[in-house]
């Protein structure tokens, strides 16, 4: 496997010597993204349960 071309948020997490899929996903899911999306979808009549 090849390392990713760019590391996600190196200013927050630092630079990893090897940056592969697992490291990228760990960084991606460590920060909440689109936290208001569920409310937005529910407000338009969709159910998420």
Residue 34 belongs to what domain range? 18-49
Total number of domains in the chain: 1
Any domain includes 6: no
Any domain includes 42: yes
CA 12-18-24 angle, to 5 degrees, is 50
Residue 48: its pLDDT value, please? 83
Q: How many residues does the chain have?
A: 49
Any domain includes 47: yes
Any domain includes 43: yes
Residue 4: its pLDDT value, please? 84
pLDDT in tens, the chain (49 residues): 677 889 999 999 999 999 999 999 999 999 998 999 999 999 999 998 8
If we measure between CA atoms, which residue out of 4, 8, 7, 5 comes closest to residue 30? 8
Instruction: Name every residue whose Cβ is closer than 8 Å to that of residue 23 and which is 6 or more positions away in sequence.
Output: 7, 16
Any domain includes 37: yes
Any domain includes 28: yes
């Amino acid at each position: 496997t090849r390392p990713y071309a760019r590391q996600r948020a190196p200013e927050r997490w630092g630079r990893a010597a090897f940056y592969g899929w697992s490291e990228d996903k760990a960084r991606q899911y460590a920060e909440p993204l689109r936290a208001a999306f569920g409310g937005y979808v529910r407000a338009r009549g969709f159910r998420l349960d």
